[in-house]
Amino acid sequence: MKIINFLNTGISRAVKSWKGILIIWIFSLILAGFISFPLSSVLKRSFGNSMVTERLMDGLDVEVFADLGSNLSAFLFPGLFFVFLIGFILTSFLNGGLFDSFREDAGEFSVSAFLSSGARNFWSFLLIAIIIRMIIYFTGVLFVGIPLILLLMENSTPGNSPLIILIITSSLYFVMLPVLLLVADYARAGKAANPGWSGFKALGFGFSKTFDRFGNSYLMMIILTLAHVLFILLVINTIPFWKPQTGKGVFLMFLITQLLLIINLALKAWRYASVTASGEPYCRKNAPVSDLAD
Amino acid sequence: MRKNLYLFFLIISTHLCYPQIINKIPLSERITGYQIDVQLDPVRKCINGTLKGYWVNKSPETVPDIRMHLYMNAFRSNRSTFYKEAGDSPGINETDPGWIEIFSFTDNQNRDLLPSMKFISPDDGNPEDRTVISVTLPEPAKPGDTVFVNIVFETKLPSRIIRTGFSDDFYFVAQWFPKFGVYEFEGIRYAGKGEWNCHQFHRNSEFYSYHSVYDVTITLPEKFIVGSGGMLISEEKSANNTKKLTYRAEDIVDFAWTAWPGYSVFKDKWNNVDITLLIPGNRINQVERQLTAVRNALEYLDRNVGPYPWQYLTFVDPPAKGGGAGGMEYTTLFTSSSSPVMPPFIHVPEMVTVHEFGHAYFMGILASNEFEEPWLDEGVNSYWEVRMMDYYYGSKSGMIDHPLLKIPDITSTRLGYVSSPSRQATTNAEYSWNYPHGTYGMMSYQKAAIILHTLTGIVGEETMNEIFREYYRKWAFKHPSGKDFIDVANEVVRKIHGDRFGQDLNWFFDQTLYGTGICDYKVADIINQKLRKPEGRIDSHDTLSYEGTDTDSLYSATVQLERIGEVTLPVEVLIHFEDGTEKQEEWDGKSRYRDFTYTGTAKIEWVKIDPQFKIKMDVNYKNNSMKLNPDRTPLKRLVKKFVAFIQFFITLNAV
Ligand SMILES: [Zn+2]
């Protein structure tokens, strides 16, 4: 029952911070604009009055883009790298505001408080995001990538063992993922409640908190991630296949993708807020000076 | 007369030595034949044994020597021509290099020919290359003579598998024994006076060989599962847990074989052809795909080119450690390439199978010289590969068939050519190892295939089938050259179409196959000019009648077309007017520009050159069409989806 309480609290706190969710959405749209506007103009200029784009009506056609040669990829790949990098840094900043707004004693949501706590928590949040992301990638290679390569390199039959190994290790990986998310979320909730903490201290706190009340929080995280994964699967299996044939249809598609993106952000906020609620209280609110120097 | 007498005795004698076993009548002249008896030494990675071979001098000339390929010596050291061209090394460990040693070389009178054997390097004079030998005969071979040789040899397989070699307990053994070159004389390809065509082994080259008969006995440990290009005649147990396998192959250009304990064997049948597939046991899920692909290829080439003349074929999907042996052809044996995890929407394994099987025709039956005219087997074969893949796996999805991305084989092949930065560096009149700037693959596979697809666009698919049927009828089990193929094309096209495409197709092949130009047609502009009533001082009578017409809506509508490339090909032009009417025009494509002007009440809305994309050689499809107000919906849709993708990625990536 505790879990349901936390999830409910998570919903109400996420709803209370709806403005924060919208701010993140707007930033993501602006960032995407850094690529989509030049892309759109390169495409328009390159195709001119050609009708070859008709061939895109039914879906991607590599031959259509091949004629654009390297001018497309020349800006696209560096551009994407830049936007993804900035995106990672920016979301760390904005998450700082979001976690702060989810605190039990956060009071009314205010944009200025959101941004200032984002700034205050920025370096620690960035550190936590980088470390957890690295662990996720590294263990992904270890638990899924290498067994997959072994399976592909495997030469003969003896009992399909590489396939079984792959199934076991990748299951382990997916079992482990929610743990890593819990660590990241507790670390950030702890940091938001204790502004004096360093990123590493917060991360250590995240680990200990995760295993402190593992049973409950793990189950809760499973529910949260499952809901999010199902939602993402829904998006992946619909939007890419939707091929509106008119300008109005395309605009409608754009509105719906943005709506889906907001729901995606809300689901994430729900996770952050629920985990925050489940971990309360977070140490002393007024930490002694000696702790600040930690 | 004398020659005929020789031939008579020859036929009697060789047929006594090599009786008919598989094919009721010989498919080829069988100018060479081999009886090989070898043992596989799995410790030393060597194959030792004896070879009895013959070569018949079918030329009208007296020939003083014989020449043979020792392909395995390409892997001898980094000083071989093969490895010099590769800029690489066969490896530094003792077990790495591959080689072939000849311990004894005698004729049928037991005369020692070793002293008169020397290594020669006809292509590059490299003194350290040992891939070709010349053996001066005790007596020159007169027309009709048969030269018999008895050789004791040892072949060491290389550890770095390039088509052939070993890896652990996996063996793929190809082009592995002393093998006769081809003695060319007038009537064979471009030869004037007779001479041996026996090139060194190059990094970018395949092979050239007589159709031969093979009786091969292989002794090896019992644990091995063996596949070969021959028919298994007998299998006996031998001493020390070994077995002795005897194979017979007829009218093929190389006897290759593979041995590995890990193969699973699957059998299938298409008409009267027995199909055997050797595949690693953990790829059972790939078996049906592979067998279906080979049955498709058999059916398609049988229908459109000519019959597959053997009753069997074996193909091999090598294990990952033997991946270097994958994707290669030895007529009745070929290798494919797949993996235990291969999503069904990726048709690469099928493509490899269809392609390598196709070589049974283009190089196997039609044994062109792959050293000198690689396009004639790889290009022609890639042309058929594309046709088969896009026929059986979807005209839009021959290579990739996913709801989000479909790629036909014609597209991947065309892009290989049009997107190559060196697409104009050279022509296809190049020996395989001479292609500059890494263009061997692009030129001999993709460009050549795209040239033939362009020709299909011009003369039609059924005419192309007829060209290949005639090519098969005329040249099967011989050694056609590019010129022979073009002659057949000229003859067939003229028979079917008269002089619709000119006296012959040389204008086509000279520009495409033997030229460096590109083909690119472009729509420069659409101009709709309103015609005005005569105004001002009119001194002459206008021939246009303005009576009864609202002159404000009369237009002189023009499309301006240009040829940017050097290659001139006939193209269709489709012009669409505002009122929905369309005009189909033909342009011979020769002049640098061509305008089509129409006077009427409707403006031109759009124009397309080659609306059905028949001219696959056109290097840029983008400029082939123009519309005054083009519909940008697909582009907008794409950009909007891209925006959503970026946003989702950013928000999900941030933990
Ligand atoms: Zn090939």
Which pLDDT value is given to residue A283? 65
Worst-scoring range by mean pLDDT, A38-42, B75-79, B241-245?
Answer: A38-42
Dist CA B161 CA B654 (whole Å): 45
Q: What is the distance in A from the centroid of ligand 1 to the CA of B378?
A: 5
The pLDDT of residue A215 = 84
Mean pLDDT confidence for B517-545: 81
- Does B113 contact chain A (CB < 8 Å)? no
pLDDT higher than threshold 70 for residue B550: no
Between the CA of B653 and the centroid of ligand 1 the distance, in Å, is 43
CB-CB: which of B405, B636, B651 is closest to A91? B651
Q: Is residue B16 over pLDDT 50?
A: no
Mean pLDDT, range B194-209, rounded to an integer = 97
Residue B1's pLDDT band (boundaries 50, 70, 90)? very low
pLDDT tens-place string over residues B25-35: 899 999 999 99
In the block, residue with structure tokens 């707004």: A101
Distance B308 CA to ligand 1 centre (A): 18
What strand order describes the sheet that includes B117-119?
A: B117-119, B132-141, B63-69, B179-180
Confidence class for position A74, pLDDT limits 50, 70, 90: confident
Find the mean pLDDT for residues B612-634: 95
Over range B443-469, report the average pLDDT: 98
Q: Which of B418, B635, B653 sits opposite A53 (nearest CB)?
A: B635
**CA-CA-CA-CA torsion for A60, A66, A70, A74, nearest 10 degrees?**
0
pLDDT, one tens digit per residue, over A2-46 is 889 999 999 999 999 999 999 999 999 999 999 999 999 989 988
**What is the C-alpha separation between B545 and B534, in angstroms, rounded?**
11
- CB < 8 Å & 24+ apart, contacts of B23-28: B23/B250, B23/B251, B23/B309, B23/B310, B26/B250, B26/B251, B27/B211, B27/B250, B27/B251, B27/B309, B27/B476, B27/B477, B28/B210, B28/B211, B28/B251, B28/B477, B28/B478
| Angstrom distance (rounded) from CA B555 to CA B578 | 12
Nearest-angstrom CA–CA distance, B75 and B72: 6
pLDDT band of residue B6 (cuts 50, 70, 90) is very low
Given pLDDT bands bounded at 50, 70 and 90, which one contains residue A293?
very low
CB contacts < 8 A, A to B, total 210
Query: Under 8 Å CB-to-CB from B433, ≥6 apart: which residues?
Result: B85, B123, B202, B203, B204, B205, B371, B440
Which among A48, A52, A56 has the least Cβ separation from residue B621? A52
Which range is least confidently modeled, B133-142, B337-346, B494-503, B534-543? B534-543
Centroid of ligand 1 to alpha carbon of B281 (angstroms) = 26
pLDDT of B82 strictly over 60: yes
pTM of the model: 0.90
* Average pLDDT in chain A: 89
Best probe of the A interface among B633, B641, B645, by most A CBs < 10 A, is B633
Which CATH architecture group holds B521-635?
Sandwich (2.60)
Q: What distance in Å separates the CA atoms of residue A235 and residue A53, rounded to the nearest whole number?
A: 26
User: Any CB–CB contact under 8 A between A189 and chain B?
Assistant: no
CB proximity A219 to B under 8 Å: no
The CA–CA distances, whole Å, from B359 to A69, B297, B378 equal 33, 11, 8
Whether residue B457 is predicted with pLDDT greater than 80 in this model: the reply is yes
* Assembly ipTM: 0.93
Residue A160 pLDDT class (50, 70, 90 cuts): low
* % of chain A exceeding 90 in pLDDT: 70
Decide if A257 touches B, using CB distance below 8 A.
yes
pLDDT at A59: 85
Taking each helix axis as running N to C, give the angle between helix A18-47 and helix A2-16, from 0 to 180 degrees, rounded to the nearest 10.
60
Report the pLDDT averaged over residues A154-172. 78
Residues of A in contact with B522 (CB under 8 A): none
Confidence of residue A233 (pLDDT cuts 50, 70, 90): very high
Residue B123 has pLDDT above 50, yes or no: yes
Q: Give tens-digit pLDDT for B505-515.
A: 999 999 999 99
A237 touches chain B (CB under 8 A): no
Q: CA-CA distance, A221 to A275, in Å (whole number)?
A: 8
What's the confidence (pLDDT) of residue B281? 87
Read off the amino acid at residue B261.
P
Average pLDDT, chain B: 93
Residue B256 near residue B229 (C-beta atoms within 8 A): yes
Tell me the DSSP string of B395-453.
TTTSSEEETTEEE-HHHHHHHHHHT-TTTTS--S-S-GGG-STT-HHIIIIIIHHHHHH
Say yes or no for a CB contact (<8 Å) between B643 and A80.
no
Distance from CA of A104 to the nearest CA of B (A): 22
Same fold, B1-261 and B521-635: yes
Mutate which of A61, A75, A155, A182 to test chain B, going by most B C-beta atoms within 10 A?
A155
Q: Do B320 and A153 touch (CB under 8 A)?
A: yes
Sequence spans of domains, chain B: 1-261, 386-512, 521-635
Q: What is the pLDDT of residue B537?
A: 73
Residue A261 has a CB neighbour count (10 Å cut-off) of 22
Is a pLDDT exceeding 80 seen at residue B354? yes
Confidence band (pLDDT; 50, 70, 90) for B14? very low
User: Mean pLDDT, to the nearest integer, of A218-241?
Assistant: 95
CA of B197 to the centre of ligand 1 (A): 21
Q: Using CA atoms in the order B196, B197, B203, B206, what is the torsion angle rounded to 10 degrees?
A: -130
Residues 64-103 of B with CB under 8 A from A: none
Please, what's the b/e burial string for B484-512 (b: 16 or more CB within 10 A of its CB; e: otherwise)?
A: bbbbbbbebbbeeeeeebeebbeebbebb
User: Looking at A57-61, B368-372, B569-573, which range is the least confident one?
Assistant: A57-61
**Residue B11 confidence (pLDDT) above 50:** no
Interface of A with B in 96-125 (CB under 8 A): none
User: What number is the average pLDDT over the span A134-163?
Assistant: 82
Pairwise CB contact (< 8 Å): A88 & B639: no
Which residues, including other chains, have CB under 8 Å from residue B159's CB and lie 6 or more apart?
A: B45, B90, B91, B93, B95, B96, B98, B165, B166, B167
A185: closest chain B residue by CA: B655
When pLDDT is averaged across residues A222-238 and rounded to a whole number, the result is: 96
Pairwise CA distance, residues B318 & B290, whole Å: 13
> For position A156, what pLDDT does the model report?
59
Look up residue B109 and give its two tokens.
């009178």
Interval B549-555 mean pLDDT = 69
- pLDDT tier for residue A73 given thresholds of 50, 70 and 90: confident
Residue B247, C-beta contacts closer than 8 angstroms, at least 6 positions apart: B214, B215, B216, B217, B218, B228, B230, B231, B232, B233, B255, B257
The rounded distance, in Å, linking the Cα atoms of A252 and A244 is: 9
For B359-404, the pLDDT digits (tens) are 999 999 999 999 999 999 999 999 999 999 999 999 999 999 999 9
Residue B210 Cα to ligand 1 midpoint, Å, equals: 19
State yes or no: pLDDT of A214 exceeds 60: yes
Phi-psi region of B404 (alpha: psi -120 to 50; beta: other; left: phi over 0): alpha
Predicted pLDDT at A1: 61
Tell me the percentage of chain B whose pLDDT exceeds 90. 90
Give B33's strand partners.
Answer: B54, B213
Q: Which CATH superfamily is domain B1-261 in?
A: tricorn interacting facor f3 domain (2.60.40.1730)
Question: What is the reported pLDDT for B39?
Answer: 98
| Backbone Cα Rg of chain A | 23
Residues A45 and A50: their CA atoms lie apart, in Å, by: 10
Q: What is the mean pLDDT of residues B485-502?
A: 97
Question: φ and ψ at B309, to 5 degrees?
Answer: -90, -5
From the centroid of its chain, how far is CA B200? 20
Q: Tell whether A88 lies on the interface with B, counting CB pairs under 8 A.
A: yes
